[in-house]
């Protein structure tokens, strides 16, 4: 069966192409169009007006939520970085036995396989007023009565989301550090540089692509999260996704929800393309 | 930095200044301490999750009161839960199959073919990796609503297959890139047709990547919430069921489900590590 | 002793149960071009890396210019290394790579700039100061690495298989260039290589290593003419080796008697050999002293010579036939020939030294 190349190409290409157009391109386009429609309770009507976007800027709760979401996502990324970088560094530069290194790497990546929902849930059971942390602190005499400060706030959000997304920070940093030829660090030492200075001038700059990739990943994931907020966030920890979900549920204002989703999409795309550009700048250096 | 020796060395053969040895020792234990802290942060919550599934008290608090298997017995009698597990299996298997059937050709096309719109195609396919699941969920919700397609487990399957496409494409594409083009050229040179080459040369070489991507897709689909949340009809998948139970209140029954999921995950990790071991594992590459 | 810049005192390095370097002592004179030669895994790179401070010796001391540097980390040693993969920092320009070590040492910026320019001119890359490493060719990268290693005028320059990544033509040119550079800058060079030609052409002194130990140490010519054992005889150049005993001033080469010069034979020798280029090939049924008779079984044409494999029925020997002598054309396979070796050109060894 020797088909002409053009037909072969079409056969390979058409299923994914049709699928992507039908279930990605079309829905995103509709989402875009929908964001200009108007709500006419209990349904919506086609229109082309900026009302939904105006509403987003007029009602402070939307911008506030957006700001809070960005803040939480940024904190999650920062804390993930602070924990993940030393760990990845330890694996690459301090553990010499490849078997142990692989095991320790897998130990960080493995939790990704365990249900995200359950990993967030377990923090709820730990942090609640009747939860494990409170009862533990009371049994050891540190607290005399349960404290509500652990759960339903932004700290709980950052803690839980950091816990959930930290593997996404470890993976790219590990990959970037591992790619650094050991001879570069030897050369730096050979040329008179101490360990700390070598890290600042050689290791860290060369691992930046991994840091940026990890930062992008954890930021985008935390930014779009809407489960942790229900479980551990409380009203103070509501994220932009929760507001969108409300528009598609209880509030039944799909056009407004679409506009919000579009704003969210734009923010995510901006971050991704900035990170892409950074990565492209760093390419070719190891050629 | 100098190459660090973590393996214990025979001290009697070391005429080395003791100050240097001490600083090495301190350095080593500081690093081991840091790593242990991070692993504790990752694993204590999972240990808590599992431990409380065996605790014979309804309240999740310290100290634990005693050992029981009651929560597991309750699970076995919980019909809603069993239906949810069945639904999840159906969704995850179908979505994985679909996403592989679409994703492998997509990866092939990205690696081997040039066609107009390739850049846009690539961006769209890879987008869901970083895109919040909620956006995929609501955009497809609107689509199904507009074309009058009722929500069901099937719409969830389509949603999952779409969102997971990126996972399959990145994994298979990465493997394809490492596969020398000359293999396929040699196959063609020896008279094989395009299809024969794919099944006899290309597929065997990317097999483990495809299986690995399949296992990962299965896990992610089994665990998926944001897309499912918007696209499911009256049927519940397991995470949706747990989710609704959770919102009603915390119970060790959820811990029992969790412990079972942890066990299943360990099994899947084990399988995928075994798969990877047959390949050269970049993560295990030795440094001099 | 004043002129010894490096003194290695009973240096050993064990990797777990594997012995990398085994009790090696070696002195290197100031200004010398010394080469550590040996097959991969013989410990030569480990020895070099211990001099540089990249490996800690399991036992023994390293002295640099009269100072014990065994416990000093690489950044505190006045030696620099030319890395096998060059180890150029990918995120810095050529100029910043070369100036790196000077900046670290706190040299004022203007002086750094001047020195970087000088050394780049020295290696012929004055115009590449602002280029990125990945924009350079392999040969250019090597020169940058070289410039970076010598700009601080280290007491010793270590070269780890410096030419292995270059293609054949470039390698030969760089051999000459490194040699010139060595004379021009007057630094001590210690090079590691597995390529015997490279070792012979470039160095003042060659140290041959095997299984973590030094097996011979000498000037290139003495190594070639008087190899210490059969291993070196065959590792450096090619040697026809055969085992025999000395009886009545004669040895047996694959069953045929050969006269030797008994005064040049080592006591208790049990292995003998001669180099292909030291033998003469006679065509047909020649009459001469000290002949091995056999038939041609292979002719390998090398351009200036032809290497003939001669079958002596008990074994084969190699003989080089200069093309200028082959006016009658190259011998045909199966042709009867005789190989003549003058007695004093036969080398002798005590084989257990090679075990």
pLDDT of residue A283: 56
Supply the DSSP symbol for B152.
S
Lowest mean pLDDT among B50-59, B209-218, C305-314, C337-346: B50-59
Say if the Cβ atoms of A125 and B250 lie within 8 Å.
Answer: yes
Closest residue of chain A to B42, computed from CA coordinates: A163
Contact with chain B for residue A101, Cβ under 8 A: yes
Say if the Cβ atoms of C104 and A191 lie within 8 Å.
Answer: yes
Q: pTM for the full model?
A: 0.80
How much of chain B exceeds pLDDT 70, in percent?
Answer: 89
Residues of chain C with pLDDT under 50: 1, 353-355
Split at pLDDT 50, 70, 90, the class of B11 is: very low
Say if the Cβ atoms of B14 and C58 lie within 8 Å.
Answer: yes
Split at pLDDT 50, 70, 90, the class of A171 is: very high
Q: How far is C157 from chain B (nearest CA, A)?
A: 19
Is residue A286 predicted with pLDDT exceeding 70? Answer: no
Instruction: Give the neighbours of chain C: at least 3 Cβ pairs within 8 Å.
Output: A, B
Contact with chain A for residue C85, Cβ under 8 A: yes
Give the B window 160-179 contacts with C, CB below 8 Å.
none
**If you count residue pairs, one on A and one on C, with CB atoms under 8 Å apart, how many are there?**
72
Contact with chain B for residue A124, Cβ under 8 A: yes
Residue B191: Cβ within 10 Å count: 9
Higher-confidence residue: C114 or B196? C114
Contact with chain A for residue C138, Cβ under 8 A: no
pLDDT of residue B17: 65
Contact with chain C for residue B16, Cβ under 8 A: yes
Average pLDDT, whole number, for chain B?
Answer: 82
Split at pLDDT 50, 70, 90, the class of B282 is: very low
Is residue B86 predicted with pLDDT exceeding 90? Answer: yes
User: What mean pLDDT do residues B170-194 have?
Assistant: 80
Say if the Cβ atoms of C89 and A202 lie within 8 Å.
Answer: yes
**Could you tell me the two tokens for A4?**
């002409």
Nearest-by-Cβ selection for A191 from C101, C133, C134? C101
- Using a CB-CB distance cutoff of 8 angstroms, which residues of chain B are in contact with residue C56? 2, 5, 16
Interface test with A, best of B126, B160, B194 (most A CBs within 10 A): B194
pLDDT of residue C352: 61
Q: Kindly report, residue by residue over C296-333, the tens digit of the pLDDT.
A: 999 998 888 899 999 988 889 999 988 887 677 888 89
Give the A window 33-52 contacts with B, CB below 8 Å.
34
Concatenating the DSSP letter of every residue in chain A gives ----HHHHHHHHHHHHHHHHIIIIIHHHHHHHHHTT-EEETTEEE----SHHHHHHHHSHHHHHHHHHHHHHHHHHHHHHHHHHHHHHHIIIII---HHHHHHHHHHHHGGGGS-HHHHHHHHHHHHSTTSHHHHHHHHTTS-SS--TTSSSSHHHHHHHHHHHHHHHHHHHHHHHHHHS-HHHHHHHHHTT--HHHHIIIIIHHHHHHHHHHHHHHHHHHHHT--SHIIIIITGGG--HHHHHHHHHTTT--HHHHHHHHHHHHHHHHHHHHHHHHHHHHHTTTT-
Contact with chain A for residue C15, Cβ under 8 A: no
How much of chain B exceeds pLDDT 90, in percent?
Answer: 27
Give me the interface pTM, i.e. the ipTM: 0.84
Is residue B2 predicted with pLDDT exceeding 60? Answer: no
- Using a CB-CB distance cutoff of 8 angstroms, which residues of chain A are in contact with residue B46? 111, 114, 119, 122
Higher-confidence residue: A46 or B44? B44
According to the per-residue pLDDT averaged within each range, which of A279-283, B89-93, C86-90, C279-283 is highest? B89-93
Nearest-by-Cβ selection for A193 from C75, C79, C148? C75
Q: Kindly report, residue by residue over A30-41, the tens digit of the pLDDT.
A: 999 888 888 777
Interface test with C, best of A182, A185, A187, A212 (most C CBs within 10 A): A187
Higher-confidence residue: B97 or C173? B97
């Amino acid at each position: 069966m020797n088909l002409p190349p053009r037909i072969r190409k079409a056969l390979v290409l058409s299923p994914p192409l049709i699928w992507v157009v039908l279930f990605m391109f079309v829905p995103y386009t509709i989402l875009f169009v929908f964001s200009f429609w108007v709500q006419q309770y209990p349904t919506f009507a086609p229109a082309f007006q900026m009302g939904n976007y105006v509403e987003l800027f007029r009602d402070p709760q939307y911008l506030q939520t957006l700001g809070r979401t960005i803040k939480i996502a940024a904190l999650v990324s920062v804390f993930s970085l602070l924990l993940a970088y030393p760990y990845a560094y330890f694996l690459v530069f301090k553990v010499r036995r490849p078997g142990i290194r692989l095991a320790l790497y897998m130990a960080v990546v493995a939790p990704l396989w365990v249900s995200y929902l359950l990993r967030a849930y377990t923090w709820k059971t730990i942090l609640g007023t009747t939860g494990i942390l409170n009862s533990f602190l009371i049994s050891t005499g540190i607290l005399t009565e349960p404290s509500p400060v652990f759960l339903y706030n932004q700290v709980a959000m950052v803690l839980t989301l950091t816990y959930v997304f930290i593997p996404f920070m470890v993976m790219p940093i590990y990959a970037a550090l591992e790619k650094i030829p050991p001879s570069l660090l030897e050369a730096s030492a050979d040329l008179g540089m101490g360990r700390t200075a070598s890290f600042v001038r050689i290791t860290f700059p060369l691992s930046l692509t991994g840091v940026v990739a990890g930062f992008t990943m954890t930021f985008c994931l935390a930014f779009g999260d809407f489960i942790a907020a229900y479980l551990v966030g409380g009203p103070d920890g509501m994220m932009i996704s929760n507001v969108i979900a409300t528009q598609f549920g209880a509030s039944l204002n799909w056009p407004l929800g679409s506009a919000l989703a579009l704003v969210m999409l734009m923010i995510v795309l901006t971050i991704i393309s900035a990170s892409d550009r950074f990565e492209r700048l760093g390419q070719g250096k190891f050629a | 930095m100098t190459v660090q020796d973590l393996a214990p060395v025979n001290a009697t053969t070391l005429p080395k200044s003791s100050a240097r040895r001490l600083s090495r020792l301190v350095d080593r234990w500081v690093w081991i301490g840091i790593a242990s802290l991070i692993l504790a942060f990752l694993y204590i919550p999972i240990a808590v999750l599992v431990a409380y599934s065996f605790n014979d008290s309804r309240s999740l608090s310290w100290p634990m009161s005693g050992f029981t298997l009651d929560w597991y017995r309750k699970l076995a009698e919980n019909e809603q839960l069993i239906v949810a597990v069945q639904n999840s299996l159906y969704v995850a298997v179908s979505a994985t199959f679909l996403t592989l059937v679409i994703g492998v050709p997509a990866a092939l096309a990205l690696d081997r073919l040039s066609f107009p719109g390739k850049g846009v195609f690539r961006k769209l396919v890879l987008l869901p990796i970083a895109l919040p699941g909620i956006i995929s969920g609501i955009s497809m919700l609107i689509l199904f609503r507009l074309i009058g397609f009722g929500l069901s487990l099937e719409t969830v399957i389509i949603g999952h297959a779409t969102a997971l496409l990126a996972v399959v494409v990145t994994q298979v594409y990465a493997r394809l890139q490492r596969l020398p083009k000359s293999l396929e050229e040699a196959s063609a040179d020896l008279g094989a047709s395009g299809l024969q080459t794919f099944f006899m040369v290309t597929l065997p070489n990317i097999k483990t990547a495809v299986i690995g991507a399949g296992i990962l897709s299965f896990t992610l689909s089994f665990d998926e919430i944001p897309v499912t949340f918007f696209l499911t009809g009256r049927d519940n998948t397991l995470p949706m069921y747990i989710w609704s139970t959770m919102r009603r209140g915390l119970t060790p029954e959820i811990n029992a489900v969790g412990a079972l999921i942890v066990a299943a995950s360990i099994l899947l990790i084990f399988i995928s590590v075994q798969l990877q071991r047959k390949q050269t594992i970049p993560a295990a590459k030795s440094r001099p | 002793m004043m002129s010894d810049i490096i003194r290695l005192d009973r240096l050993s390095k064990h990797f777990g149960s594997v012995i990398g370097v085994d009790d090696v002592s070696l002195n290197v004179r100031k200004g010398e071009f010394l080469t550590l030669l040996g097959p991969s895994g013989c410990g030569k790179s480990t020895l070099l890396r211990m001099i540089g401070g990249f490996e800690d010796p399991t036992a023994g001391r390293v002295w640099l210019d009269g100072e014990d540097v065994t416990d000093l980390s690489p950044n505190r040693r006045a030696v620099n290394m030319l890395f096998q993969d060059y180890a150029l920092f990918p995120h810095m320009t050529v100029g910043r790579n070369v100036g790196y070590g000077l900046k670290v040492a706190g040299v004022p910026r203007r002086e750094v700039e001047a020195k970087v320019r000088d050394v780049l001119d020295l290696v012929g890359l004055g115009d590449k100061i602002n280029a990125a490493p990945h924009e350079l060719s392999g040969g250019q990268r090597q020169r940058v690495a070289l410039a970076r290693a010598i700009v601080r005028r280290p007491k010793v320059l270590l070269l780890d298989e410096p030419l292995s990544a270059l293609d054949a033509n470039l390698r030969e040119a760089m051999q000459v260039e490194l040699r010139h550079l060595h004379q021009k800058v007057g630094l001590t060079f210690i090079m590691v290589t597995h390529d015997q030609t490279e070792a012979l052409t470039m160095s003042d002194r060659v140290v041959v290593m095997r299984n973590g130990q030094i097996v011979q140490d000498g000037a290139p010519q003495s190594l070639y003419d008087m190899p210490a054992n059969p291993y070196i005889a065959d590792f450096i150049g090619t040697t026809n080796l055969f085992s025999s005993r000395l009886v009545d001033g004669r040895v047996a080469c694959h069953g045929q008697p050969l006269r030797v010069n008994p005064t040049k034979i080592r006591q208790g020798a049990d292995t003998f050999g001669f180099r292909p280029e030291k033998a003469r090939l006679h065509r047909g049924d020649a009459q001469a002293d000290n002949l091995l008779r056999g038939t041609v079984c292979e002719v390998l044409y090398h351009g200036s010579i032809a290497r003939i494999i001669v079958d002596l029925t008990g074994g084969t020997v190699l003989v080089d036939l200069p093309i200028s002598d082959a006016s009658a054309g190259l011998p045909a396979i199966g042709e009867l020939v005789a190989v003549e070796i003058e007695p004093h050109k036969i080398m002798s060894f005590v084989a257990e030294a090679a075990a």
